[in-house]
Structure 1
């Protein structure tokens, strides 16, 4: 048990806790940077599926003719569908993802399914084991809606049951989501959405990650402010509160102050340098537009609701995973900083009592 009468030991322990909190904060910041890499896509989602095969081909063909074309995929996922292995008489319930365009935007690996391949399908590793009893099933056949498909690839990083196929001619399945990769970080999500909607007469709400990313960035300011005051408080504890006549202090007080200030400036500079991008969608075109932020709030609340409702694929799941890590690491950073504060206050009280005696 720590000796409560030893301020130097408690001070050393508070410094260790402070370093631990800085490490937690660093991890949260790194995860925020990684998170932003998965926020380079936007989705135009409609709860009513209206995109048929004819419109799909029109969108894809027209997209190739534009000089500023974007990488995009048109898709929908249907849950609770049934697929069959006719040879083994096995039947499994699975999700069916029907997609046209660059399917790679939905997964973390290269999907080997040609655009015009209506006879092939890609299945997840888990479904392959259940349906065929093995994962080496490329070339084997399964049936969906009385049509036979040949397995082109097994997705190794998809855990749930899933089949990926291309849209079929005369099918009653309609698609409801367009996911597009932003061509650069300058163009805003609303601008890209407007461009796609105008070109292809799309209906649906914009589902993008800028709002949540912005809120997480603000959340990371909390421990940053704690860190600033904590390091300055630590400097006061070390430099001012010890009895120098008994040499109960660290030497070179002036250099220590410079070091602490440099550390504070370094942390702030690092954070602002990596998290300073603000979309133009969040800045009113006219400062006299006082209702701008009310409208923006309503739009983003609806966008978040759509994000909850829409099916999630690789980019969305990675984004949610990094969001969870940012929340956890940042929460731990705040708790460790509070603990460090508490220890430093106890050092100040004990040292004051000692000096009085």
Structure 2
């Protein structure tokens, strides 16, 4: 009976560990942009919506959206005599899909709008059957086209062609742009802005969510290299362990899609060009300081909230894993296999289905299914090897 209780506790503990990791990956994936983008945070109000058309005239393939955010606005539902004040309104000019993954508001739809779930409840009493409903903003009627959840703004509308509105920022599809080309685009058009990678928050969240599998990979490689050192006078065994360590590293990079990329702009003509490195360091420092202290818009707030959640669950996962190493051990190969089967069928299936249904996370990734079982197997194998070596001695 006691052994069964202990086993149930182990299963529950592992389920909790995996759930936290899934949550970390899920929150990171929430802020993964659809496109490679660059955000221009404008430093003055001299750039207006008319500039968007001018930019596109000079480059027809340019994919860009200008945006402005207004706080403390009021929205009304005259049919139900309801109003919501102190809302945040995002007005856009251009391709909205560069900002929202679930954008369903066409750029020439000046009568349509998107609202968030909270505002939908306040104005209409729920989120069902509200598509096509009407609301009022600044004396104009707008038709609700959908509920958005990729931004922290309450209402999203298009800016009409006949209005010239001052912008807070612009988002540009940067698939064909290097950082140098972006800077040239800014200077050639007289734009006063700080350019920030549109995937800045996602990249940080992604690397944080990889902390758990990275620790596992380091532990496995360290233990394999330790075994390689023990058998260093046996060339065949030494070669096998070294190959295993390299394979482990390559496998980790493969299943986590971890890539080390150095932008061409970050490579100087000469490695001894210390002025280049000094300039690069200063520019990077200034950019991150700006991001840290700048006014946070709805898109930033949404990303920051998900980033914080991803970091939180990743750290909890690592903490639980470090604890699990002390009491989750297996004495037989049969115990390892049976536990893996239960973990794969029950824990992973339940955890992933819960995360998909409750949080709409897309986390059915190979690393979720493979990393932890691989660690348990290698840990058991090397433990048995060490035990056999000690018995021989």
Both proteins in one fold, TM over 0.5: yes
Verify the 8 A CA contact 2:152 2:299 in the aligned structure 1.
Answer: no
> SS of the counterpart of 1:277?
coil
Who is 1:13 aligned against? none
Higher relative contact order (CA 8 A, sep 6+): 1
Question: How far apart, CA to CA, are the structure 2 residues paired with 1:235 and 1:338?
Answer: 27
> SS of the counterpart of 2:291?
helix
> How many residue pairs end up in the alignment?
314
Q: Give the alignment's Cα RMSD to 1 decimal.
A: 5.0
Who is 2:226 aligned against? 233
1:264-279 paired onto structure 2 within 5 Å: 264-270=245-251, 271=253, 274-279=258-263
1:158-173 paired onto structure 2 within 5 Å: 158=150, 162-168=154-160, 173=165
Deviations along 1:164-187, one digit per CA (max 9) or x if unpaired, are: 112246768521211112225xx4
Verify the 8 A CA contact 1:39 1:319 in the aligned structure 2.
Answer: no
Q: Which segment drifts farther, 295-304 or 152-161?
A: 152-161
Verify the 8 A CA contact 1:34 1:322 in the aligned structure 2.
Answer: no
Gaps of 5+ in 2: 1-13, 330-378
Check if 1:296 corresponds to 2:280: yes
Who is 2:297 aligned against? 311
Q: Which segment drifts farther, 89-98 or 25-34?
A: 25-34
Check if 1:78 corresponds to 2:67: no
Offset of 1:91 from its aligned partner? 1.6
Offset of 1:127 from its aligned partner? 1.4
> SS of the counterpart of 2:171?
strand
Check if 1:50 corresponds to 2:40: no
From 192, 203, 210, give the equivalent of 2:192: 203
Deviations along 1:14-39, one digit per CA (max 9) or x if unpaired, are: xxx9xxx9xx9999999999987667
Q: 1:143 to 1:31 in 2, by over 3 A?
A: closer
Question: How far apart, CA to CA, are the structure 2 residues paired with 1:311 and 1:132?
Answer: 26
1:1-357 paired onto structure 2 within 5 Å: 40-64=36-60, 69-93=61-85, 94-115=87-108, 117-135=109-127, 136-145=129-138, 147-158=139-150, 162-168=154-160, 173-184=165-176, 187-195=177-185, 197-198=187-188, 200-208=189-197, 213=203, 223=215, 225-234=218-227, 260-270=241-251, 271=253, 274-308=258-292, 309-313=295-299, 317=302, 321=306, 325=310, 329=314
Who is 1:250 aligned against? none
Which is higher, the Rg of structure 1 or of structure 2? 1
Question: How far apart, CA to CA, are the structure 2 residues paired with 1:35 and 1:254?
Answer: 48
Verify the 8 A CA contact 1:190 1:281 in the aligned structure 2.
Answer: yes
Question: How far apart, CA to CA, are the structure 2 residues paired with 1:313 and 1:340?
Answer: 39
Offset of 1:163 from its aligned partner? 1.1
Gaps of 5+ in 1: 1-16, 241-252
Verify the 8 A CA contact 2:38 2:172 in the aligned structure 1.
Answer: yes
Q: 1:44 to 1:215 in 2, by over 3 A?
A: same
Offset of 1:328 from its aligned partner? 5.5
Offset of 1:317 from its aligned partner? 4.6
Question: How far apart, CA to CA, are the structure 2 residues paired with 1:32 and 1:96?
Answer: 25
